[in-house]
Amino acid sequence: MDRAFRSLKNALDILEIFENRDIAFRCLTENIDTSTAMGKCMYQIRHAFSELERNLIRERTKAGMEAARQRGVKIGRPRKLSSCQIVHAQNLLQHQSDITPAQIADQFGVSPRTIYRALSQYANTNEGLLINAG
């Protein structure tokens, strides 16, 4: 049940929609029946604890990621191209007029969009140092 709703508010909104349509929610695995007062109470308590658990997981995840960043760990997916590969790609584009970004992408085993993005980001962070590199 905790995966079916995003929050306690969402679960209560759904319960209200059910009640307006004269539908009683019955969870077979947790013995919750919203046609009774006790069942509604258990429904609300169950979802309140589910939301609490999600919030605690979120807090622990953020704290763990921040601790990892402070230790110098890079968070996220590794880059497809190294700085040397980006410089090499830039030099190829500057010095070989017949080569296309798509051909360079094939050489490195990435998409042309990756080449464009890497060159753009690297040029922005190094402010034109690519011309003298290599």
Query: pLDDT digit string (tens) for 16-28?
Result: 999 999 998 888 8
Q: How far is the C-alpha of 91 from the C-alpha of 88, rounded, in Å? A: 5
Measured CA angle at 83 (ends 81, 87), to 5 deg:
100
Q: Is the pTM of this model over 0.75?
A: no
Smallest Cα–Cα separation from 10: which of 73, 70, 54?
Answer: 54
The pLDDT tens digits for 57-95 are: 999 999 999 999 999 998 888 888 988 999 899 888 888
Q: Which range, 41-45, 59-63, 98-102, 111-115, is most confident?
A: 59-63
The H-or-E segment that residue 19 falls in is helix 8-20
- Here the tokens at position 94 are 């500057």
Q: Higher pLDDT residue, 123 or 13? A: 13
Contact 14, 6 (CB under 8 A): no
